[in-house]
Amino acid sequence: MTDAMSQMIAEAGRLLGPKAEITDPSEIAPWVSDWRGRVHGASPAILAPASTAEVAEIVRLAAQHRVPLVPQGGNTGMAAGATPPADGSALLLSLRRMRQIRSISAANRLAVAEAGVILADLHQAAHDIGMRFPLTLGARGSCTVGGLTSTNAGGTQVLKFGTMRSLVAGVEAVLADGSVHSGLGGLKKDNRGYSLDQLLVGAEGTLGVVTAVALRLVPAVADRAVAWAGVDSPVRALELLRFLEARTTSVEGFELVPQDSLDLVLKHIPDTRAPLSGTHQWHVLIEATTADSNYAIAAEIERLLAAALQDGIIGDAVIAANEAQAEAFWKIRDTISEAERAEGQTLAHDISVPVADMPRFITDAAAEVERTFPGVLASGFGHLGDGNIHFHVRAASHAAPDWYEAEGAAITRMVDDLVTAAGGSISAEHGIGQLKIDELERLAPPGRIHAMRAIKHALDPLGIMNPGKLVRG
């Protein structure tokens, strides 16, 4: 450990008190690897401030001692953006003790939550006042508001309410010079220059430490309908989405599931069964909601699906008869990745292309990958309505145990090339972190990398804000 680092830790300890300055390696261990266990880092200490003022003090100390900080919430990120470097040269800055919901108002449709507030707790708080925070995702029990904001998280309800970017009304953050930016005023209109709030959303902690966020709330769900439809192809699935969108504003989830993924779930996940009796090449999980308790949402969706069936858009469909069945449908969707892992080695890509181009992209890209890497199985599932699917490539049954290491990079390069050629994004919702930084540099226009570096350098000239993530200094 360098002298600067030990001095920094000692001073932070005096500042925060012993409870908030964790140096016991066994307490640190769970937080220095990413949750998928792909990337292993190291850090001599976790600093856990309890207030924005304490975060500001730590950032000032870090600037003074030139010690980099790695902000961390629930450590559920998919791109190792909250994992410290392996050489132990950075300190973990945990926001998990900042878990106050500072204010929440149904009249203003706003909640101000500190960075460490867990998503499920925010859901509950909104529910308690008859409102709803609509963004949700699998890690809801541990991911935090700060992490969700810093990664511009997505999830399954983006179709109607957008990603975090559109739900963030304002951000409070400690900038690299220790000053506090406060955008928590809750102003609906404010044209006083560059939007630092929007710049901090998705910046992965590289421009400042998000300490609190003003979040938009929407009316609570009065009723929902969950349906499962079988279709011939992704083209038909998109046709169904357009058909529904033209007739109702209630659809907020529209997830594509290939038959192959359904088969894996049925094989590996206990207590699952196929929603439809016949065989379909592709499936769609639809969730529609209403805030109006007088609105017969299930009847409406049933009527629309019957019309789609008659028009030949879908082959079959079923509406969940009750909450248990609705949950069973969602369980299929939510356990696809788990089922794939149980089957064998899988390579995941979180990609997007324009919505209209996605059906052809899924088919063409899968064919191209399977042709180039004989034996692998490629398919896409997920958020078709957002033009965002998880494009997974599974090893051949005879693949060597080191397939992932041996062929993974080449397959990923191919997928990323195909996505880029289609005008898409190599990271739709997971961010860049450290896992995709090389691919971003390889594929982004040089002007964009140059602009990002210029912004990074301008706001973090000492390079203490999560260095090595998103953009190299």
Residues 201-230 that bind a copy of itself (CB under 8 A): 201-203, 207
Contact pick of 312, 354, 375, 401 for a copy of itself (by CB under 8 A): 354
Residue in 90, 92, 94, 93 with CA at minimum distance from that of residue 5: 90
Type of residue at 428: A
Q: Which is nearer to a copy of itself, 268 or 472 (CB)?
A: 472
Q: Which is nearer to a copy of itself, 280 or 456 (CB)?
A: 456
- Binding to a copy of itself (CB under 8 A) within 396-435 occurs at 423-432
Q: Which is nearer to a copy of itself, 134 or 424 (CB)?
A: 424
- Binding to a copy of itself (CB under 8 A) within 266-305 occurs at 291
Place of tokens 């880092």: 41
Q: Which is nearer to a copy of itself, 202 or 275 (CB)?
A: 202
* 91-94/69-72 β-pairing: parallel
Token duo for residue 91: 């300190």
Token duo for residue 473: 């200094």
CA atoms within 13 A on the CB side of 291: 12
Stretch that binds a copy of itself, among 36-44, 136-144, 313-321, 449-457 (CB under 8 A): 449-457
Contact pick of 18, 37, 278, 446 for a copy of itself (by CB under 8 A): 446
**x-marked contacts with a copy of itself along 182-201 as a string, rule CB under 8 A:** x--xxxxxxxxxxxx-xx-x
Q: Which is nearer to a copy of itself, 218 or 269 (CB)?
A: 218
Q: Which is nearer to a copy of itself, 177 or 368 (CB)?
A: 177
Tell the smallest beta-carbon distance from residue 283 to a copy of itself (Å): 21
- Binding to a copy of itself (CB under 8 A) within 75-114 occurs at 105, 107-108
- Binding to a copy of itself (CB under 8 A) within 120-159 occurs at 151-152, 154, 158
HEC assignment per residue over 8-40: HHHHHHHHHCHHHEECCHHHHHHHCECCCCCCE
Token duo for residue 168: 């963030």
Bridge partner residues of 181 (DSSP): 173
Q: Is 334 helix (H, G, I), strand (E, B) or coil?
A: helix
Bridge partner residues of 391 (DSSP): 349, 380
Q: How far apart are CA 216 and CA 34, in angstroms?
A: 29
Token duo for residue 47: 């600093």
Tell the smallest beta-carbon distance from residue 186 to a copy of itself (Å): 5
Q: How far apart are CA 283 and CA 231, in angstroms?
A: 6
Tell the smallest beta-carbon distance from residue 85 to a copy of itself (Å): 19
Q: Which is nearer to a copy of itself, 325 or 337 (CB)?
A: 337
**x-marked contacts with a copy of itself along 236-265 as a string, rule CB under 8 A:** ------x------x----------------
CA atoms within 13 A on the CB side of 415: 29
With beta carbons less than 8 A apart as the criterion, state whether 8 and 65 touch. yes
- Main-chain dihedrals φ then ψ at residue 110, nearest 5 degrees: -140, 145
Tell the smallest beta-carbon distance from residue 434 to a copy of itself (Å): 13
Type of residue at 54: E
Tell the smallest beta-carbon distance from residue 243 to a copy of itself (Å): 11
- Binding to a copy of itself (CB under 8 A) within 8-27 occurs at none
Does 448 participate in binding a copy of itself (rule CB under 8 A)?
yes
Q: Which is nearer to a copy of itself, 425 or 434 (CB)?
A: 425
